[in-house]
Amino acid sequence: MDPDEDYGPEPANLRFLRRLVTLLTAVMIAGLVTVIALLVIRLQAPAPVLPALPETIVLPEGVTADAVTFGEGWIAVVAGDRILIFDAETGALRKEVAVE
């Protein structure tokens, strides 16, 4: 039994709509595959190597570095509620700033 015999020819608007839905489905599948591929590629990338605290820097007794920031000619070490600023070349303590 031919469906065209029962209902007549398919309207042009319905044919256009069916093609649009098919195209949208294909685009969504391609987009999903692209997003998954990019996530897999990004998550497999090696972690960035963080710079280490130079050996010329000697922290005061009992101080543990929470964060280190490298500037031009200086190195800042965040230790608890204070920031220690060292000279990058000599490792001498330039300044200590209390964080309130």
For the segment 16-28, what is each residue's pLDDT rounded down to a tens digit? 999 999 999 999 9
Residues 56 and 39 in one domain: no
Identify the residue with better confidence: 3 or 82.
82
The pLDDT value recorded for residue 8 is: 76
| Residue 63 structural domain | 51-100
Task: Count structural domains, the chain.
Answer: 2
Residues 61 and 99 in one domain: yes
Confidence of residue 63 (pLDDT cuts 50, 70, 90): confident
For the whole model, what pTM was predicted?
A: 0.49
When the pLDDT of each residue in the chain is averaged and rounded to a whole number, the result is 87
Residues 58 and 31 in one domain: no
CA dist., res. 90 & res. 95, Å (int)? 14
Residues 62 and 95 in one domain: yes
Confidence of residue 76 (pLDDT cuts 50, 70, 90): very high
